[in-house]
Chains A and B, each alone.
Chain A
Amino acid sequence: MSLKIAASCVNCSACEPECPNEAISAADGIYVIDPAKCTECIGFHDDPQCALICPIEETCVIDNNYPRYQPAA
């Protein structure tokens, strides 16, 4: 899985520099997460950083369209 950003994003940019994988970037009016880069912060932090700093609840959420991230063994 990866995280994704919902349409409730207010475009504040707070999440972007917090991502340890540089997976977040500005798109059209909201920010987006690149699922190929997002590791759910596994290997870096206890919790997804984007979700922790995001001022809008339920905006940085798990995207079930992607399989669970597997840390390299």
Chain B
Amino acid sequence: MELSEREVAEAAVKAGASADEIMKKMAEHKGCETNSDGGKKASCGTEAGQNDLAPEIWEKVKNHPCYSEEAHHHYARMHVAVAPACNIQCNYCNRKYDCANESRPGVVSERLTPEQAAKKVLAVASTIPQMTVLGIAGPGDPLANPEKTFKTFDLIAKTAPDIKLCLSTNGLTLPDHVDTIARYNVDHVTITVNMVDAEVGAKIYPWIFYKHKRYTGKEAAQILTDRQMQGLEMLTARGILSKINSVMIPGVNDQHLVEVNKAVKSRGAFLHNIMPLISAAEHGTVFGLTGQRGPTAQELKRLQDSCEGEMNMMRHCRQCRADAVGLLGEDRSAEFTTEKIMEMDVNYDLATRQAYQARVEEERLAVSGAKANELQILAGVESDIKILIAVATKGSGRINEHFGHAAEFQIYELSTGKGAHFIGHRRVDLYCQGGYGEEDALETVIRAIKDCHAVFVAKIGGCPKKDLLAAGIEAVDEFAHEFIEKSAITYFKRYLEGVKDGSIIHVEKGDAEIRPGEVAVDVAAVAAE
């Protein structure tokens, strides 16, 4: 770690500026002047930007695509599936199809040995220089498979010391492994915490396997929460970053998650990620079969908002597949099947990777510069109106995706107080898949973003544009390939002016659906095998 950080800095110097200098410049650019009055906590909204975090934490998360909302546009992570076993049972998980919730959802089509996994990581890292993070998140619990998990870390740490290692766990055996985690320099651990009250936990976990015994009911939930909190405290004591994932289950733990938020914050977790339950009968999970529903988009947002004052909320998680490769949301797994990798000649080229990453830092500087300037546009404008917009993007913080190619939209809330504030993703079925312009596909998109006033795209056809408008959603393509925040604020300013002079009549929009998207599709595919 020591060495690789120095090397990274050297590469950045060759590119004209040190990484630290760039980050410092970004801090100055971002400002946050709007918040410095009124004694509020210095904060640029929910972004895990350096303004919210202690410097040593920012140093660790700035290139982490899962933890830094800003970095996830530029850096990539991958997960390898080496850990299929689990030691607890969750009502939202059917072990047969891997987990549709937590951070190990979707379908892992092939299981790797630690040796195969290490080779895969090196092959991907040599091909995709943005790949800076390796996660082990399942499909079971990585700490129920400690040998496989740590063997994989060991192999990678030897060849590619610049890759950050992280793991996700249910926390049951976490206290037993914290010292090993520290030894491998794992600096990010994600714990899934759905409750801190055994009463609530008994409705989520039918049983756990702990110290050679199976526990059920409240007793099981009590052991689990005690172990999770103990593990979290031990990580904090050793300076290892911990993120908390929670699955929001309406009527079971939705209100209770505010409690969870307080409990994990007081024990030093730095990010809390609340995800919607994904539940459908065909998943064959307990919740799927009992008809337990997931939250709506507005329910999720309200809960995230009520936790926001307490702690950094992570809103860009899209419950990607446990073996996903590439930028968050951009799945390149098909290029790296085990078969292809075992044939590859991998030449791990640290220098090229570092040169590339130095260029990315410049790009990030440009993005945050654009953001700061645009906030000035709204200076002096005051309004209570807040609207949501959906953005079709491939990354780099720009509006650069065709409406018909978008598998998901980024949702921003626009207000005079916060400017353009990222609040999350909505997955949609590929509108273009299987023939262009299918009626029901478009309807799916509309249902997913019907709480938005506009959708920003790089390009869109005439027909869908008309249908969107009929649903009260304006399709905006005039900002194609421009920065998202800058365009959104320009649009919002014009919107407010229109409302003022009467040319636009502002209406509140309703709620929207959270679609399981790829998860439902993949589960069906596996069931057919």
Q: Do A and B bind each other?
A: yes
Binding site for B on A (CB under 8 A): 10-14, 16-17, 45-47, 49, 52-53, 55-56
Name B212's contact: one of A16, A45, A56 (CB within 8 Å).
A45
CB closest chain-B residue, reference A20 = B212
Q: Which residue on chain A has the smallest CB distance to residue B87? A: A53
Establish whether residues B213 and A13, one from each chain, have CB atoms under 8 Å apart when the complex forms. Answer: no
- Is there contact, CB below 8 Å, between A52 and B209? yes
- Asked if A55 meets B212 with Cβ closer than 8 Å, knowing A10-B96, A12-B95, A12-B140, the reply is no
Residues of A within 8 A of B209 (CB): 52-53
Chain B residues within 8 Å of A55, by CB: 86, 89, 95
Contacts of A10 in B (CB 8 A): 95-96
Report B-chain residues with C-beta under 8 Å of the C-beta of A16: 85
Interface string of B164-205 (1 = CB under 8 A from A): 000000000000000000000000000000000000000000
Chain B interface extent, by class: 10 to 19
Contact residues in A for B147 (Cβ distance below 8 Å):
17
Q: Are B89 and A12 neighbours in the complex by a CB distance under 8 Å?
A: no
- Docked pose: A14 CA to B89 CA in angstroms: 12
B84 touches A13 (CB 8 A): yes
Asked whether B213 lies within 8 Å of A14 as measured between CB atoms, the reply is no
A13 to B140, CA, bound (A): 10
B95 touches A52 (CB 8 A): no
Return 28 A-B CB contacts under 8 Å, by A number: A10-B95, A10-B96, A11-B84, A12-B85, A12-B86, A12-B95, A13-B84, A13-B85, A13-B145, A14-B86, A14-B87, A14-B144, A16-B85, A17-B85, A45-B212, A46-B213, A47-B214, A49-B212, A52-B209, A52-B213, A52-B214, A53-B85, A53-B209, A53-B214, A55-B86, A55-B95, A56-B95, A56-B96
Cα–Cα, bound, A45→B211 (Å) = 10
Q: Is the CB of A47 within 8 A of B85?
A: no
Q: In whole angstroms, what is the CA distance A12 to B95 when docked?
A: 8
Whole-angstrom CA separation of A45 from B209 in the bound complex: 13
Question: Measured between alpha carbons, how far is A11 from B145 in the docked complex, in Å?
Answer: 14
Bound state CA distance, A17 and B143, in angstroms?
13
**Complex interface bits, B102-145 against A, C-beta within 8 A gives 1, otherwise 0:** 00000000000000000000000000000000000000100011
Interface residues, chain B, CB within 8 Å of chain A?
84-87, 89, 95-96, 140, 144-145, 147, 209, 212-214
**Complex Cα distance A16/B89, Å?**
18
Residue of A11, A17, A49, A53 contacting most chain B CB atoms (<10 Å): A53
On whether the beta carbons of B84 and A12 are closer than 8 Å, the reply is yes
**Known contacts A12-B140, A13-B84; 13 further A-B pairs (Cβ under 8 A):** A10-B95, A11-B84, A12-B85, A12-B86, A12-B95, A13-B85, A14-B85, A16-B85, A52-B212, A53-B209, A55-B86, A56-B95, A56-B96
B85, B87, B144, B147 — most chain A CB neighbours (10 Å): B85
With both beta carbons as reference points, the residue of chain B lying nearest to A51 in the complex is identified as B214
Q: A53's closest neighbor in chain B, by CB?
A: B209
**Chain A hits for B213, CB < 8 A:** 46-47, 52
Alpha-carbon separation in the docked complex, A11 to B98 (Å)? 11
With CB as the reference atom, state the residue of chain B lying closest to A49.
B212
How far in angstroms is the closest Cβ of chain B from A27? 15
Shortest CB-to-CB span from A33 to chain B, Å, is 16
Contacts of A13 in B (CB 8 A): 84-85, 145
Q: Shortest beta-carbon distance, A49 to chain B, in Å? A: 6
With CB as the reference atom, state the residue of chain A lying closest to B96: A10
A17 to B85, CA, bound (A): 10
Chain A residues with Cβ below 8 Å from B85 are 12-14, 16-17, 53
List residues of chain A with CB within 8 A of the CB of B214. Answer: 47, 52-53
Q: How far is the CB of A54 from chain B (nearest CB, A)?
A: 9
Closest residue of chain A to B141 (Cβ to Cβ) is A14
CB of A40, distance to nearest CB on chain B (Å): 14
Which chain B residue shows the least CB distance to A44? B212
A55 to B207, CA, bound (A): 10
How many angstroms between the C-alpha atoms of A52 and B96 in the bound complex? 17
CB neighbours of A49 from chain B (8 A): 212
Min CB distance B84 to A, Å, is 5
Bound-state CA distance A45–B85 (Å) is 20
Q: Chain B residues near A47: list those with CB within 8 A.
A: 212-214
Which B residue sits closest to A45, measured CB to CB?
B212
Chain A residues contacting B84 (CB-CB under 8 Å) are 11-14
Contacts of B86 in A (CB 8 A): 12, 14, 55
- Please give, as numbers and ranges, the residues of chain B lying within 8 Å of A11 by CB-CB distance: 84
